[in-house]
Structure 1
Amino acid sequence: MNKILLCIGIAFVSLNAIGQNPAGEKIKAFKVAYITEQLNLSSKEAQQFWPIYNTHEETLEKLKKEERKLIRALKDANEGSDGLSDRQAGEFLSNYLEAETQKTQARKTLIKDLQTVISNKKILRLIKAENDFNKRLLERIRQWRNRRND
């Protein structure tokens, strides 16, 4: 139990939560706790793991922010008087593909960096834990929306 609390504490110290809302902070805290529990990191592993993982999460957040900007710009362009030209559509596709490439590269970098810190088995557990966490989060959101709509 103390090991889990230590890991969570280290993760929180490492987090750079800039401009996040309280709900986002709660989700991030639950994710940290869930991943910590699923990976069963030693204290030494946790000290090395969380800075790498948090840097990756920050990178992904920046890429997602750019992607949201792109989607808003696409929506605005489509709502214009003439809509989107083929050239503009090509630019949007090019930007979208670049963002996807950057996300893939960030994931490759994360895995490569983590291989110096934790075992390959734990990296696979991380991938599964992230997917499981996202599924649980989506299920909770669905349940919350269903209760709100009732």
Structure 2
Amino acid sequence: MTRPQLVEARRVRTAELFGQGRPGAEIARMLGVRDESVRRCRRAWEEGSPDGSRRRPATGRPPKLDDAQVERVRAALEQGAHAHGFEADLWTLKRVGLVVERVTAVALSRASAWRLLTGRLGLSLQRPERRAVERNDAEIARWIAHEWPRIKRGR
């Protein structure tokens, strides 16, 4: 059950408890909510508002990308940065914005690209390890096993 559904269920339960004649403070304790929330529900209930306990649609600006576009972006990002013509196979917000624009014809700011990645796509920040390309783990292990003890003994 999503959070809005839980809130709606709590409002409906509050209205049922009002109907039983329970006091507001008791309802607040039973449901684990603040007294002010109970008073607000009571006002709507007393006014006979049929929608007083029902969930309201989300307000605010609608998202720039619909669900189908978000899935197309997800598929494009899963192909990797190389597949979209970038040299390194790393994603930056600027690169994500370019791919979103190519795939959906919708321009996003870096902040909007970040919200898309972390919110709707559920991705998180990943940073590559900083390692030299020439790193040789076998040589490092040999040096630690043979050279370092020799240098240490020499002191």
Which TM-score tier does this pair reach, normalised by the shorter chain? Answer: under 0.3
Q: Which has the higher contact order (CA 8 A, sep 6+)?
A: 1
Structure of greater Rg: 2
* TM-score, normalised by the number of residues in structure 1: 0.26
Normalized per residue, the structure richer in helix is 1
